[in-house]
Structure 1
Amino acid sequence: MKKQELIHLHGLLAQVENHYEMDTGEEVEHDEYTSLGVRPTSIHKSKTDHKNAVFALAKGITSEMESETRERVPASAD
């Protein structure tokens, strides 16, 4: 994947995160993403930096979605 494509994907994931937070009212936990200091607008950062940011952001979003799903699904009665 080219750097420009990673930056575009990074921006899309940031939009997904914003939409998810607005839709659910829950904040996505993304300490790992924040600690990288790479934003979709950080075009001067390296391709590797954006790749790491994409993975960290995706991990934060999916973890939050999994957590929300577990909270909504009632435990089965054994």
Structure 2
Amino acid sequence: MKKQELIHVHGLLAAVRNQYEERSGRTVDLSEYEQTGVKPTSIHHSKTAHQEAIFALVDCLTDTMAAEEKQLTSHAD
């Protein structure tokens, strides 16, 4: 994938995070993602840096969503 495409995906994932937080009322723990120091607007960072940031952001999102799912299923029992 080209750097420009990675930046686009990075921006889309940031939008997904914002939508998730607005709709669920939950806050995603972004500590792992923030350690990368790369934002979708950080166009001066390398392709590899954006890949690492994307993977970190995906991990943060999925961890939060999995915890929510676990909490919802434990209350249903």
Query: What percent identity do the matched residue pairs reach?
Result: 51
Choose 1 or 2 for highest CA Rg: 1
**Structure 2 Cα separation of the partners of residues 21 and 75 of structure 1:** 21
1:28 is matched with 28
2:14 is matched with 14
Question: Structure 1 length as normaliser, TM-score?
Answer: 0.93
| Unaligned stretches of 5+ residues in structure 2 | none
2:44 is matched with 44
Write the letter of the residue equivalent to 2:35: S
**Structure 1 Cα separation of the partners of residues 76 and 8 of structure 2:** 41
2:3 is matched with 3
Cα RMSD for the two superposed structures:
1.4
**4+ residue runs over 6 A deviation:** none
Write the letter of the residue equivalent to 2:48: T
**Structure 2 Cα separation of the partners of residues 20 and 66 of structure 1:** 13
Question: Structure 2 length as normaliser, TM-score?
Answer: 0.94
**Structure 1 Cα separation of the partners of residues 28 and 75 of structure 2:** 24
Question: Could you give the per-residue CA deviations for residues 27-66 of structure 1, whole angstroms, max 9, x where no partner exists?
Answer: 0011111011100000000000000000000000011000
Does the C-alpha gap of structure 1 residues 16 and 76 become closer, same or farther in structure 2, counting only changes over 3 Å? closer
1:54 is matched with 54
